[in-house]
Structure 1
């Protein structure tokens, strides 16, 4: 998992910046609509975000961008669909960070570092623990106490097995002695509805819950960030509550392996332009997200580093073998 400080550093520009073309120009133009496989459920933050970016990308590249939902396999199905795609830029996928974890604990027919072309970082999720406003717990300590008194009685929703939410809660349980039951969903739209309909007792995942906190339907018990979030300045972090756990989870655009450099560059520049649109950033702000500017070289460097660094955490969580 990534600290907010680490995430902020990753979001910055570096000397690895790709060559810059004039605004609105591209060296490569697709011959037909571009399909982007989305690993998360329709209507979720990531789905809406990609569709909004696609509006500008369509204008820059001159072809429609079609977002195709491929939820499943803990958010790794979408990039896995690229194995049979031509490396011509016509078929892409949104890759969540779980694609860099999954192969450590589940046999796959793809390798995250060998089978994909890394194109552009997009954004990342801000994590927290949230309950309905009618829940009996007013503070995180009360929820932890309930999980210790009646182990596994209370369940929580996340975006999938092995995702940041589950790993975050495994660390919370190890740190506190509480035990809860994990209920995985395909995406934020599903687990948000599950919480509102009392199918789960709380959420441990990204801030798709933020609008529901703002309208009074939900309450944050703790932020899984390194420092307090300005928008919710009265909400303590897990660290402040003595639980040294921080969770963030970036995602980006990848393509099949072997894509020509000029195609990669054109797609990257189109997404970079789209990420600068005010309406896109205004949407992300609703869910406490920031743009994650990563060019192809930077994105690959991040993936290679994280793939190695995350394995000890997965072993600690009991998901991977040493």
Structure 2
């Protein structure tokens, strides 16, 4: 805090004694004492930096010198001598106690305060391994380290890129292999299915061929004129219930399979009709015959003649009306039934 007291008045300047000054006491004015008007208000006193920080300054300087020496070649220069005045040298700490510096200074000092480095500062940054290899220049050593590190990084980057490429290639190869395997499996499955279907068709053809040996068409020299289910007003049911084989009158009518004659005689609109019952209970109706060659209860074999084509009953011309009924009496399509026995119509 600044003082608020009034400044003391300065004494009158000195002058020689004159008349009328007798009896006075004169004092010598000293301007260094409390005769100077103090400065009012806050003020900052500059601190004088002493020698306490000299060691830090010296350490920074030495480190800077080491760095500079590492970037330049100074092997041809003699060791550097550092001289300091006695007034400063006496207040400096022991150079050997400075971190990172004492190892590079010799333990001898001359009487003038001169400290001589035991080796050039250009070798300060060289490691023991580099020294064993014959490296004596810190700048070259640093350059070699940088180049080695760059090469290592480049090699690492190339290795990583190569590994990435190899991984991508392996994944692509695996995907292609999986796709090829999938295609191969699909083709194999399709081929197997086709082979199975072909085998089934072949087996069915063989079965029908063998079965056809025991079945025969009901007549020969025929023309199909009406099919099963065909609609028309000429049929009382409104649709055709059998299969018509148009042929000349007197054309032989044959047993389609071995069986027993269940009935043979006149049957109204069917004219002369023969009903042949097969071993499985299926009935074959032969209608509109001109004559019949079998009687009820008679056993017949495949291909035997059981009658003749005619035009009896409700007809418009000579033909064989053939119907097929299952064991339960239901009528089915005669053409499909004959084809299921291996016969071609």
Tell me the TM-score range normalised by the shorter chain. Answer: under 0.3
Higher relative contact order (CA 8 A, sep 6+): 1
